[in-house]
Chains A and B, each alone.
Chain A
Amino acid sequence: MSSPQCVIKESGYSPELFGYEEILKNIEEAVEKLDSSARSNIAIIGDPFSGRSELLHKISELCQGRESKIFFSRLVGDENFLHIIEKSGDIVLVDDCQLLFSRKIGGFRKLDLFLNIVASSNKLFITTWNQFSWNYLRFLYPLESIFSFRIELPRLGQMELKNLVMSTCEWQMTFVEDKKIRKDQWLVFSELPVDLTLFKRTLRIPVPRLDYSALRSRFPAKIGSSEPENETSVEDRVFQRLKDASEGNPGVAKAIWKRSTPKAEGSITPEDIIKPQYKIDLDYDQAFLLYNILCMECVSVEELTGIIGHNANVNRFIQDLKRTGLISIENELLSIMPEALHSIERYLKSVRLVC
Chain B
Amino acid sequence: MTNVDVISGPVKSINASTILTSLGMLFLAYAASRISTYVLTRLSEWKFLNVFGLNRITVKILIPLLKFAFYFAAIYFILASVLNIASDELILFSGLLGAGLGFGLQGLFADVIGGLLIVVERPYQIGDKVTMGGHYGEVTDIGLRVTRLVTPDDTMVSVPNSTIFHNPIANANAGNLEMMVVIDLFIDPGCDATLAMDILREALVTSKYVRLSGKHKYVILLKAFPFYKRIRVKGYVNDFRYEFPFETDVTRRAWQQFRRAGIRPPRMILAEEHTYRGEPGI
Contact = CB atoms under 8 A, between A and B. Distances in A.
Nearest to B203: A105
Contacts of B199: 105
Nearest to B256: A105
B208 A352 contact: no
A204 interface: no
B206 A105 contact: yes
Contacts of B212: 136, 139-140
> In terms of DSSP, what is the predominant structure of the interface of chain A?
loop
A352 B237 CA distance: 10
B49 interface: yes
Interface stretch (A82-90, A192-200, A318-326, A343-351): A343-351
Contacts of B257: 105-106
B194 interface: no
Contacts of A104: 202, 206
A346 B51 contact: yes
A284 interface: yes
A180 B174 CA distance: 55
A285 B242 CA distance: 12
Contacts of A103: 206
B208 A285 contact: yes
Interface string A315-355: 00000000000000000000000000000001101111101
Contacts of B157: none
A284 B49 contact: no
Given A140-B212, A285-B208, A349 B50 contact: yes
A106 B202 contact: yes
B198 to A, nearest CB: 9
Contact of B177 (A106, A136, A352): A352
Contact of A288 (B50, B203, B208, B256): B208
Contact of A350 (B47, B202, B203, B253): B47
B127 to A, nearest CB: 14
Nearest to B254: A105
A140 B51 contact: no
A307 B206 CA distance: 9
B239 A352 contact: yes
B228 to A, nearest CB: 22
A140 to B, nearest CB: 6
B44 interface: no
Contacts of A81: none
Given A136-B212, A139-B213, A288-B208, A105 B48 contact: no
B213 A355 contact: yes
Nearest to B257: A105
Interface residues of B, number: 24
A107 interface: yes
Interface string A296-318: 00000000000101000000000
Contacts of B48: 346, 350
Interface in B230-265: 238-239, 242, 253-254, 256-257
A108 B199 CA distance: 11
Give the interface residue-count category, chain A.
Answer: 20 to 34
Contacts of B134: none
A285 B207 CA distance: 11
A194 to B, nearest CB: 14
Nearest to A281: B47
Contacts of B51: 346, 349-350
B214 interface: yes
B197 interface: no
B177 to A, nearest CB: 7
Interface in B24-66: 47-51
Contacts of A136: 212
Contact of A353 (B202, B238, B253, B254): B238
B150 interface: no
A105 B238 contact: no
B206 A350 contact: no
B205 interface: yes
A108 B49 contact: no
Interface string A91-117: 000000000000111111000000000
Contacts of A355: 213
B44 to A, nearest CB: 13
A105 B217 CA distance: 18
Contacts of A352: 50, 177, 211, 238-239
Nearest to A346: B51
Contacts of A108: 202
A283 B167 CA distance: 39
B173 to A, nearest CB: 13
A104 B253 CA distance: 9
A181 to B, nearest CB: 28
Contacts of B217: 139
A346 B49 CA distance: 11
A284 B50 CA distance: 17
Contacts of A353: 208, 238
A102 B213 CA distance: 19
Interface in A268-295: 284-285, 288
A136 B206 CA distance: 10
5 contacts: A104-B206, A346-B48, A346-B51, A349-B50, A350-B48
Given A107-B206, A349-B50, 18 more contacts: A104-B202, A104-B206, A105-B199, A105-B202, A105-B203, A105-B253, A106-B202, A107-B202, A108-B202, A139-B212, A139-B213, A139-B214, A284-B242, A285-B208, A288-B208, A347-B47, A351-B47, A352-B238
Closest 9 CB pairs of A and B: A139-B212, A288-B208, A350-B47, A105-B202, A352-B238, A103-B206, A105-B257, A350-B48, A104-B206
